[in-house]
Amino acid sequence: MTPPLYLVDELPAGELTELVGAEGRHAATVRRTRLGERLLVGDGRGGLATAEVTAVGRDSLQLRVLERRWVPPPRPTVTLAQALIKGDRGELAVELATEAGVDAVLPWRAARCVARWEDGPRGDKALARWRSTALAATKQSRRPWLPEVNEPVSTHTLAARCAGVSGAGQADGCLALVLHEAATTPIAEALGALAPDAEGGLDELLLVVGPEGGIADDELGLLCAAGARAVRLGPQVLRASTAAAVALGAVGALTGRWNGHSE
């Protein structure tokens, strides 16, 4: 099996180190890590260290670092603008997108969202759950890069973000795509001109996924007027919680994002 990954603020500088805190307790008491086992320690910013357990405490591990390496971020970088989803399906969307390799998540307060993240403690708790989900999914998938989950945005703010990405132009390797079931342009066509063998390739992608009730017509018009392109994944209509992960799989294959990216 691939060694488990534990995330820390900073990679150990020396040969010997200690895994403490929540990660140490989880390794020692939940996973029941044994003497001599190997594990990965990461900083969530591409740094990874392979280590061997030299001693097991009640809620900590003593480690010997065997190897260090830095994994560059995948190209293109993908930011997911995910509309808020009711119940635990929002966390599912973040979990699946993280496992599929998303680089950042932008919670979107779309017009038809059933879920409402109001400013204050309730909204803070919801955002914290998304961030906790991204953290857990990063460790589960052994990712060297922890995706950032940003503060929620309005449709107008998202449109400005689309304009910022699209304003750079496809020639500069930037693209904003809105997944929509009525779109006529396949995602493969939209990405085709920016495939890895094309000159320049794709550097930055903003991927927009709407809520359960779909993206309102005026919202779609606003986003497309800002430079985004409406695209479809295929003939099926996917759930708001699964569409991003499927799209990220397509992006990974069509852009070469997954090629040669060893974690």
**pLDDT tens digits, one per residue of 32-87:** 999 999 999 999 999 999 999 999 999 999 999 999 999 999 889 999 999 999 88
| Per-residue pLDDT at 253 exceeds 80 | yes
Beta strand 61-70 with 16-19: parallel, antiparallel or unpaired?
antiparallel
Asked whether the beta carbons of 201 and 173 are under 8 A apart, the reply is yes
* Tens digits of residue pLDDT in 94-128: 999 999 999 999 999 999 999 888 888 889 999 99
pLDDT score of 258: 80
Residues of the chain within CATH 2.40.240.20 domain(s) are 5-70
Spatial distance between the Cα atoms of 142 and 99, rounded to a whole number of angstroms: 9
Cβ-proximal residues to 260 (8 Å cutoff; 6+ apart), any chain = none
Spatial distance between the Cα atoms of 255 and 196, rounded to a whole number of angstroms: 5
Q: Domain 77-254 carries which CATH code? A: 3.40.1280.10
- Whose CA is closest to 28, among 2, 50, 6, 1? 6
What CATH topology corresponds to 5-70?
Ribosomal Protein L25; Chain P (2.40.240)
pLDDT score of 235: 86
| Per-residue pLDDT at 157 exceeds 80 | yes
For residues 116-135, one letter each, b for 16 or more C-beta atoms within 10 angstroms of the residue's C-beta and e for the rest, the string is: ebeeeeebeebbeebbebbb
Residues of the chain within CATH 3.40.1280.10 domain(s) are 77-254
55 φ/ψ angles, rounded to the nearest 5 degrees: -160, 145
